[in-house]
Amino acid sequence: MRNAITVTVLLIRKQKKNAIIEKFSWRKNINK
C-alpha cells in the first residue's frame, strides 16, 4: 500500500510541475 501512495504522490507532483511549466510557456507566448 505504501508504494501505491508514494507513486500517487509523485504523479501529483509531476502534474503540478507540468501545470506550472505550461503557465510559464503560456505567458511567454503572450509576450511574443
DSSP per residue, 18-29: HHHHHHHHHHHH
pLDDT at 11: 97
pLDDT at 32: 65
**pLDDT digit of tens for each residue in the chain (32 aa)?**
689 999 999 999 999 999 999 988 888 887 76
pTM of the full predicted structure? Answer: 0.57
pLDDT at 14: 97
Residues 6+ apart with CB under 8 A from 11: none
